[in-house]
Amino acid sequence: MRDFLKNRQVEFRLFIVLVAVCVALSLTTDTFLTLGNLTSLLNNNSVNLIWAVGLLVVLIAGGIDISFAVASSVVQFIAAKLLIGMGGGNWIFGFLICGSLGVCLGLVNAALIHGFRIISIIVTIATFNAFFGLLMFLSGGRSIYALPDWWVDRVAIFRHAVEGGPASELTLPVAVMVVCVGSTWFLIRRMNLGRQLYAFGDNPEGARRAGVNLAVMQGLAFGWCELMAGIAALMQVNIVQEVVPNALYGRELEVLSAVVLGGARLGGGKGTVSGCILGVMFVAVTQNGLNLLGISPFAFQMIIGAAILVAISTSNINFSTVFASAQGGKK
C-alpha cells in the first residue's frame, strides 16, 4: 500500500483535493449532490474525457497536441457532409468515418513532426490554424442543422424518473467514453506498444537504441489522439444536435490542464489513465461548482491557469524525499 501511494503521489493529492471540493460544494449548495446534477456532469464532460485520454497518449510519448479540438470540428463537418450525401448512414458508418478522418489528421501531425524533426507544439500550432482556417473557408462559418435522425436522437443508457420533476439520465456519450477510457488503459498498461510509448517519451534516444521504431511511436501517439478526437466529434454532435464550425474552438486548454493536473508530464514518460480521470473530474467539478455558486466564469479560467502553473511547477518534485530531508534536518 505504501509503495502504491508512493508511485501515485499526484493522483492521491488530487483525489484528496477533489474530495474536499466536493464536500465544500455539498455544504454550500443544495443541488450539487443531486442525481440530476451528477448525471449532467457525466454527460457534459464525456467528450472532454475522450479528448483527455487521447491527449494523454501524446504526452506520455513526449509530445503535445493542441490541434485535437479543431480536428474534431473538421471531422464533424466532413462527416456530416459525407453522411448526408450518402443518404443518412448509421452509427457504424458514423464511427468508421469519424474515426478514420481523425486518424488521418493525426498521421499528418506525426508525419510533419517525424519527417521534418520539428517539435510537436510548433507543428500542432501550425495545423491548429491550418485546420481551422480551412474549415471556416469551406463551411463559410455556417452551421449544419439537417442531420440524420440517428445522430441527433438522444440515447439513454440509464434513466431515473422523478415525479413532478425532470428525469435524470446517462446518455450514449458516457458509454462511449467508458469504452475509450478502457481502450486507452489497455493500450498503455497491457500492450508492449504502451511500454514502448513510455520508454520513447522518457528517453527517445535510448528507446531508439533498444530497437523502438520512433516513426511508429509518433504515428501511434498522434493517430490515437486524433482517433479519440474523431470519436469525440461524433459524440459532441449527439449532445448538441448540430454541427457548428467554431463551437469547439478554444477547448484545448481546459483538457490539457486536466491531463497535466492528473500527473502527465509535459516532458514525456509519465502519466496514467486514473490521473487523467481525476484531472477531468476536478476541472468539471470546479466549473460546475462555480456555476452553482453564481461566480463569474472568468474565475474558472483564473483557477485553471493557477492550477496548471502549480501542477507543472511541482511535477518533478518527489514530496516523500522533501519530507524525509526536512525530518533529517530537524534531527
Domain positions in the chain are 2-319
Predicted pLDDT of residue 323 = 44
Asked if residues 29 and 85 have their Cβ atoms less than 8 Å apart, the reply is no
Closest by Cα among 269, 305, 299 to 287: 299
Rounded to the nearest 5°, which phi and psi values hold at 118?
-105, 140
Predicted pLDDT of residue 72 = 97
Predicted pLDDT of residue 47 = 97
pTM: 0.92
Predicted pLDDT of residue 327 = 54
Predicted pLDDT of residue 300 = 78
Predicted pLDDT of residue 160 = 86
pLDDT < 70 stretches in the chain: 1-7, 164, 311-331
**What's the CATH code, domain 2-319?**
1.10.3470
Predicted pLDDT of residue 154 = 92
The Cα-based distances of 37 to 92, 142, 169, 214 in angstroms read: 31, 32, 10, 44
